[in-house]
Structure 1
Amino acid sequence: MSLQTVLIEDSNTIREALIPALADLADARVVAVAETASEAVSVLQMLGNAWDLAVVDLFLREGSGLTILRHCKQRAPHQRVVVLTNYPTEEMRRRSLELGADALFDKSKELEQFFEWCVRR
């Protein structure tokens, strides 16, 4: 069964590359997309327990991925949240994990590890 995935990313170029790659490499079906923190929170609330994976960028068109991580702290046990960012500093890694992210990956250097992580879920 494929991972029901919410992609929270404001770059159309990155979304267009990630959606088919997630399907092909991680058996993940993107069921919703959000470009801002407020859109993401609304989508996640609307879906309730019907999502398995949220892929979150830290810097969005409006708001921050950290806001989304705070919202996801009360998620169901089967739901995973991973940060996929171009800003993988130690401070951001620490803050993301403290806020409940299951993992953080660098978009530019760790995509292979990201897809492997998704497969292991």
Structure 2
Amino acid sequence: MAVRVFLVEDQKPMQVLMADLLHSVGGFELVGTASSETGATDWLYRHPGGWDLAIVDLLLGEGSGFTLIVRCNKEPAGSVLVFSDFVSPAVRQRCIRLGADGVISKAQFGELRAYLQAFPGRVAQPEPA
């Protein structure tokens, strides 16, 4: 069974890049996307328990990823990964305090790949022959 991913990212090119990364790593299914705090909140309310990993950007065109970390943590299960351009030690600490399981800067794309490859419950897809 694939790890179900809910992606909150307001930049369409980054949404496409993330979908491609999830596909290339394997073992993930992108079950929902949102580009704003309101859209993400609506999706979360309509799909309770419908995701295993939420990947959340902090600065959105409308709203804040900080608020979404807290909302995501109201789910019975699921991990929250912050993936943002605006990661500093203080921001990282705040995200963890709000309940994020991980915080990665977008400048560290390789670190994101490593996080996904090691994600608990992910079943790696066999390499094509």
Q: Structure 1 pair 26/101, CA: closer, same or farther in 2 (3 Å)? A: farther
- Provide the residue aligned with 2:91 in structure 1: 92
Compute the displacement of 1:35 (Å).
Answer: 0.5
Matches within 5 A, 1:16-95: 16-77=16-77, 79-95=78-94
Q: Which residue of 1 aligns with 2:124?
A: none
**Structure 1 unmatched ranges of 5 or more:** none
Shift of 1:73: 2.2
CA distance in 1, matches of 2:118, 2:39: 28
Gaps of 5+ in 2: 120-129
Question: Partners in 1 of 2:106 and 2:39 — Cα distance?
Answer: 22
Contact kept, 8 Å, 2:104 with 2:112, in 1: the verdict is yes
TM-score w.r.t. the length of structure 1 is: 0.92
CA RMSD of the aligned region, Å? Answer: 1.2
Count of matched residue positions in the alignment of Structure 1 and Structure 2: 119
Q: Is the 8 A contact 2:80 2:101 kept in 1?
A: yes
Name the aligned partner's letter for residue 42 of structure 2: S
CA distance, structure 2, for counterparts of residue 3 and residue 45 of structure 1:
19
106, 112, 115: which is aligned to 1:114?
112
TM-score, normalisation: structure 2: 0.86
Instruction: Name the % identity.
Output: 27
The higher radius of gyration belongs to 2
What is the alpha-carbon distance in structure 2 between the residues aligned to residue 26 and residue 44 of structure 1? 24
Matches of 1:60 and 1:2 in 2, distance apart? Answer: 27
- Give the deviation of 1:38 after TM superposition: 1.2
Amino acid in structure 1 at the alignment position of 2:87? P
Provide, for residues 14-43 of structure 1, a one-character-per-residue CA deviation record: whole Å limited to 9, x for no partner.
111110111211522111110001111111
